[in-house]
Chains A and B, each alone.
Chain A
Amino acid sequence: MSLVALTDVVVRRGRRDVVRGVSMTIDRGETVAVLGPNGAGKSTLLEAVGGVLPIARGSLSVDGRAASVLQTPGLARRSVRANVELALAWWGVPRRQRRARGMEALEQLRAAHLAKRDARSLSGGERRRVHVARGLALRPDLLLLDEPFAGLDPETRAVLCEDTSSALRQEAGGVLVVVHDRAEAWALADRLVVMMDGSIEASGTPGALLAAPQSAQVARFLGYDGELRRGDSSTLTRPAHVLIEPAGDLPATVTRVVPQQDGVRVELELADGVLRAWYPEPGLAPGDRVRVRLVGGVSFPAP
């Protein structure tokens, strides 16, 4: 039996159906990331699974206890260690075990050095670290994380994401995490669920989804930013699919060049569409004529 099973779940906020007929399962030991644009209903889905919001229709079963790590890292005025132990007390862990379990979780998230600090003296990144560690310490059957890295600078975000990812891999329970950023989803998830406008548009392993997105909409959301119209089909590409080389079969004009740390991102205009590519050397300028070759991409019937 799955750890979590949702069948045609509808969740309302006020009079609006925010989650509309979602069916999915989560197994033990699996980390599922929910990805989608703002307002897609991701957090609402998480709250419903966590039991905070009632479901209007459908069925939802969770085999065990779920703990939600909310988006706002609300910490009490006391030391970091005391905060983690407090969470364990709420969860019902006997007093004798709290210290060891709390420290173990802090170590997993590389926050053990913060244990004796006053929670109010932490930086934004440190607060998030402690906040996530607190959820891990509970060892729930199902851990729900709502945008665990929201509001952090890109570097802190990347490091914390890496640490969380390795900590989650050691978890025996299931994890459902809402993320806003594709890179985070890739780092964390065994399985990815793309949600748009209240419904699940696609789901699968990150690799499979990226290689064969179910629809043009999902493809665009996953970073397919080039499009060529050919007859009644349209081909979508990611920068990795577009090679700029003299032997290429398609003529193109450079329309925009955005310098990056190692190389440039190039926007190319072709006879039947616009492609975006990455080029390892500087030197391209708008107006240059180049030749490109496509190595991949996905095709859908044109709308």
Chain B
Amino acid sequence: MNFFLDGFEQAWELISSRDPFLMHLLRITLQVVAISTGAALLLGLPIGLALGLGRFRGRGGLVVLANAGLGLPPVVIGLILALLMFPQAPLGRFDLLFTLKGVYIAQTCLALPVVVALTISAVRELAPGLLDQARAFGAGPFAMARLALREARIGVLAATIAAVGSGLSEVGAIVLVGGNIRGYDQTLATAALESVGAGRYAEGMAIGIILLGLIVVISGLLTWLQYGRVRYQRGWSAS
């Protein structure tokens, strides 16, 4: 139990003293999450819409691929990306290995299938006939996409929450690509991993507690966005 108590104590100390090391970890973590989630949404929403609503050959296979992507092992993705980023490898000339940019790319690769797969299932649940009706009333592709995203916003926000969650707690790919460099591209999760690896359990616990708190706060905010404002739907009828 000592580790837990020490962990809480250290966590409180780090927070109350606004420890510069902790502040840096927080900043990097939020930066990685924001950039990778943003990029995954930017790329993933159009792909998810196209796969969820489009009618074209090979769509079924791509949907299976996206769903399989939900279970991508981060370590394998990290390893593949790291190998590709080695100086002599195809991505070598971009100098991405052991940099923050590399970390953003690795995390985006992990978040993208999550966004695509969850967007597909969200837009497939739309009221039947709504999009056909929009088309019949002259809606262009842009207006249709806006309508679909707005109608499926609960599912789209679920995709966002999942992407944010994966970004906050990811270690495998980030460590392999970023090198887990203290004070540079280390995030809360990878810092906790390093502390535990070095036998500093209480410190690991402290960082872990802060990370959990951050996850609760961010997920709470997104959940509020997802459901908090739609309370008027209580008068729902079956017909």
Interface of A toward B, CB cutoff 8 Å: 50, 52, 65, 67-77, 86-87, 89-92, 117-118, 120-124, 127, 134-135, 138
Contact = CB atoms under 8 A, between A and B. Distances in A.
Given A72-B132, A91-B137, A127-B239, 9 more contacts: A67-B138, A69-B133, A70-B132, A70-B133, A72-B129, A72-B133, A76-B150, A86-B147, A90-B134
B131 to A, nearest CB: 7
B136 A118 contact: no
Contacts of B139: 90
Interface of B is mostly: helix
Interface string B216-239: 000000000000000011011101
Contact of A72 (B128, B150, B232): B128
A121 B237 CA distance: 5
A153 to B, nearest CB: 11
Nearest to B147: A76
B127 to A, nearest CB: 5
B130 interface: yes
Query: Among the interface residues B132, B137, B151, B233, which one has the most CB atoms of the partner chain A within 10 A?
Result: B137
Contact of B235 (A72, A118, A134): A118
B236 A121 contact: yes
A127 B239 CA distance: 9
B145 to A, nearest CB: 13
A123 B237 contact: yes
B143 interface: yes
Given A121-B236, A122-B237, A124-B239, A90 B132 contact: no
Interface string B101-124: 000000000000000000000000
Given A75-B130, A76-B151, A70 B237 contact: no
A257 B127 CA distance: 46
Contacts of B233: 77, 118, 120-121
B237 A52 contact: no
Given A76-B130, A89-B143, A52 B239 contact: no
Contact of A74 (B131, B235, B237): B131
Contacts of A72: 128-129, 132-133
Given A90-B139, A91-B137, A123-B237, A70 B147 contact: no
B137 to A, nearest CB: 5
Interface in B140-172: 143, 147, 150-151
Interface in B3-28: none
Contacts of B133: 69-70, 72-74
B236 A120 contact: yes
A68 B132 CA distance: 10
A10 to B, nearest CB: 22
28 contacts: A67-B136, A67-B137, A70-B132, A72-B128, A72-B129, A72-B132, A74-B129, A74-B131, A75-B127, A75-B130, A76-B130, A76-B150, A76-B151, A87-B137, A89-B143, A90-B134, A90-B137, A92-B138, A117-B235, A120-B237, A121-B237, A122-B237, A122-B239, A123-B237, A123-B239, A127-B239, A134-B137, A138-B137
Given A73-B129, A74-B131, A76-B147, A52 B136 contact: yes
Nearest to A138: B137
A71 B133 CA distance: 9
Given A73-B129, A74-B128, A75-B130, A91 B138 contact: yes
B128 to A, nearest CB: 6
Contacts of B132: 70, 72, 74
Contacts of B134: 74, 90
A74 B137 CA distance: 12
Contacts of A92: 138
A214 to B, nearest CB: 33
A203 to B, nearest CB: 25
Contacts of A86: 147
A50 B237 contact: no
Nearest to B128: A72
Nearest to B143: A90
A76 B233 CA distance: 13
A52 B134 CA distance: 12
Contacts of A118: 232-233, 235
A149 to B, nearest CB: 14
Contacts of A124: 239
Given A67-B138, A90-B134, A120-B237, A77 B151 contact: yes
B236 A50 contact: no
B142 to A, nearest CB: 11
